[in-house]
Amino acid sequence: MRPILVVLSLAAVIAASPARAQLAISAGIEYFQWKEDTAPIEVREDGPMFVLGLDFTQPKDKGLLFAYRGKVYIGKVDYDGALLFAPNVPVDGDTEYKGTAHEVQLRWRLAPERGYWLDVLGSAGVDLWERELSDVQEEDYTIAFVRLGVELNATGDRGWTFGAGLKYPVWTEEDAHFDDLGFDQNPELEPEGKVMGFFHAGYRFQRHLALIAYLDGFNFGESDPVTVTSGGTSFQFFQPASRQYNWGLKLQYLF
C-alpha cells in the first residue's frame, strides 16, 4: 500500500540520523467509532483497529525543536445504518478501513523542571484513509489538519507523559466513487471541519518501554450537496455531519 511505503522511507531516514535517542516505534490497538447524523436511521460504525506508529523528536533541553508523528492503521469494524438508496431500510455489516497519518510538529520546550519537560506544540498533518462499505461502495478521505496543545514528558528513564489540546481539519476531500455506483460524474464532497479535543496519558516504566493511552479523532459538519446524473435523471448527495473517535492503547519502544 502506498502509505506504508511513505512510513518505511521516513523510518529509514530518521534511523540513520545521529539523534537515535529520540526515535520511537509503537504497536497497539485502538477502538474506532464513527457516527453520521442521518435520519431516520443513524449510521454507526465501531470496532478495533491495529496501529503501527513511528515518532521522532529532536533532542533539545529547551527552545524550538522539530518533531514528527506517523502511523499506519487497518481494521474491520461493525456497520449499523441504512441502505444508501433506501434510508428507511436498516442494514448491518462490516466496513474495512486502512490508512495512514503524518504530522510535522514545531515545539517550544521550557527548561526541565523537577524531572519533566513542558512542550507547547503546533503542528500540521495529513490523514489519508480508505473506507470500504461493500464490493461496490467505497470512500477515500484526504484530511489536512492542524493541532495546538501542550505536552509533559519525563526527562529520565522512568516517568509519566501527558498531552492535551485541540485539533481542527482545515480541509477535507471525500471521493465517494459515484461513477462506480452508476452515475455519470464523480464530484468530490468537502465536509466542513470542526474543532475536536485530543488527549494522551502514559508511563515510561524503563528506558526503552512505555505504555500510552490516548483519545483522538475528527469532527465534521455537513458538506455542501453535489449533483450527479444517471440515465438523464439528476440526484443530489451530501456527506452528513460526522464524528470520529479513536480510543487507543499502544506499547512504545524508545531507542
Segment holding 204, helix H or strand E: strand 196-204
**Confidence at residue 172, expressed as pLDDT on a 0 to 100 scale:** 98
User: What cell does 97 get?
Assistant: 478501513
Q: Identify the residue with better confidence: 106 or 83.
A: 106
Distance CA 34, CA 243 (A): 6
Distance CA 81, CA 35 (A): 10
Q: Assign 239 a pLDDT band (cuts: 50, 70, 90).
A: very high
Q: Assign 85 a pLDDT band (cuts: 50, 70, 90).
A: confident
Residue 30: pLDDT above 50? yes
CATH number at residue 238: 2.40.128.100
Cα–Cα nearest to 172, from 241, 102, 220, 122 = 220
**Confidence at residue 125, expressed as pLDDT on a 0 to 100 scale:** 98
Q: What is the DSSP letter of 189?
A: B
pLDDT tens readout for residues 4-29: 444 444 444 444 444 344 899 999 99
Domain total in the chain: 1
Residue 178: phi and psi, rounded to 5, are -60, -30
**Confidence at residue 19, expressed as pLDDT on a 0 to 100 scale:** 36
Beta bridge partners of 209: 253
Contact 108, 124 (CB under 8 A): no
- Expressed as residue numbers, the domain containing 140 is 2-254
Residue 68: pLDDT above 60? yes
Q: Measuring CA to CA, how many Å separate 216 from each of 43, 152, 196, 213, 226?
A: 20, 17, 8, 10, 29
Residue type, 200: H
